[in-house]
Amino acid sequence: MQAIRLKKGREKSLLRRHPWIFSGAVDAVEGKPRPGDTVDVLGADGRWLAHAGYSPNSQIVARAWSFAREDAVGPEFFLARVRAAVGARAALAPAVPPRACRLIHAESDGLPGVVADRYDDWISCEFLTMPAERHKRDIALALMAATGARGVWERSDSDVRAKEGLVPLAGHLTGEEPPDRVVIEEGPARLLVDIRTGHKTGYYLDQRDSRRAVMELCAGRDVLNCFSYTGGFGVMALLGGAARCTNIDTSAPALDIARANMDLNALPREGAEFLTEDVFAALRRLRDQGRTFGAIVLDPPRFVDSRANIQRGCRGYKDINLLALRLLEPGGLLFTFSCSGLMDEDLFQKVVAGAALDSGRDARIVRRFAQAPDHPVALNFPEGQYLKGFLVQVV
């Protein structure tokens, strides 16, 4: 038997079905498991707690696959988990579009380390832990069986794999190979997704509901879309009747797709501007030029990637929010987001409040945003909550 025996008192989080076992909680490893193997997790008194995937190179040395002793972690187990996750999304249609949604959201779907997004007929996956890597072929086959997709592509090229001692990987897993660009539908928009070389799995599905809000609230406004990536917020703003949209991103390939997305939605090119620029610098330049906007979107990448970095991340969020607030016309709207899981909503609100105070603008939160419902937060895994945002209206 391969097992991890916990120190006395350290079984508590597992009894609450939290799936992580930290190295400091382990008293002994029995039976020489190899990285990625499934082990039994036992309390100090020998009580059986979970089947878990073993990741000896990580701070989180094991993640629970199952809290049911009768489960056997293998192809049938993964097929059942994948079917449950896919079925849960289907039951949320049309709020969750079945052909453009996250199908597996890791721990919150009982599949730690596994992310799978559906883009039209294709599935793009990330396998972020040693045990997820071990079972990826079974999971890919299960995804094909549960969805009827044409192919599964792997985008395990995130740097978080290094924490597990895994090298970055990307490529074809099963079925047919996806084309270079896939078209998805989001509300009234058609959007290009580059599964092979885009960010993450190709697109940011988690912001679907916030993009709809931008569509509904920006008619007639001059919009500044910061950290635009492939222009999703900008396309939605223009489809909702925005007067103009300026998109800013440091990634030239992302802006190429953003331009193509204008054509795909029959939006006139004159209505949009695409600037390959650093947002921190661009906001200062726009301030110095005396530019103003009726709405600004701030959807930056994750600024806080470790607890040690929280202060520095807060300074980054405060800086862009302060600059953006100053660029708004009276009655203007700021859609501001943080996808840093280590920064909770309270802290983000304090940072935005600090920015408002220093900007000299009178501002109020009129709406709150979170990740779309295909990115659920299992109640036994609050860490699954990462994306939050505010709609701030200035006086």
Q: Which residues participate in catalysis according to the annotation?
A: 339
Token representation of residue 64: 């629970």
CB nearer to ligand SAH: give 227 or 369. Answer: 227
CB nearer to ligand SAH: give 139 or 223. Answer: 223
DSSP letters spanning 122-172? EEEEEE-SHHHHHTHHHHHHHHHHHH--SEEEEEE--GGGGGGT---EEEE
Least distance from C-beta 272 to ligand SAH, angstroms?
15
Token representation of residue 203: 């697109």
CB nearer to ligand SAH: give 332 or 389. Answer: 389
Binding-site ranges for ligand SAH (CB under 6 A): 199, 204, 207, 227-230, 232-233, 248-251, 254, 278-280, 299, 301
Least distance from C-beta 319 to ligand SAH, angstroms?
11
> Within 13 Å and on the Cβ side, how many CA atoms surround 338?
27
Whole-number Å distance between alpha carbons of 364 and 369: 14
Least distance from C-beta 278 to ligand SAH, angstroms?
4
User: Per the omega criterion (within 30 degrees of 0), is the bond before 94 cis?
Assistant: yes
Least distance from C-beta 387 to ligand SAH, angstroms?
11
CB nearer to ligand SAH: give 214 or 342. Answer: 214
Instruction: Give the distance from CA 356 to its chain's centroid.
Output: 27
Residue with tokens 């304090």: 350
Least distance from C-beta 36 to ligand SAH, angstroms?
31
Whole-number Å distance between alpha carbons of 127 and 107: 12
CB nearer to ligand SAH: give 132 or 224. Answer: 224
> Within 13 Å and on the Cβ side, how many CA atoms surround 154?
20
Query: Is the distance from CB of 33 to CB of 55 less than 8 angstroms?
Result: no
Token representation of residue 103: 């199908």
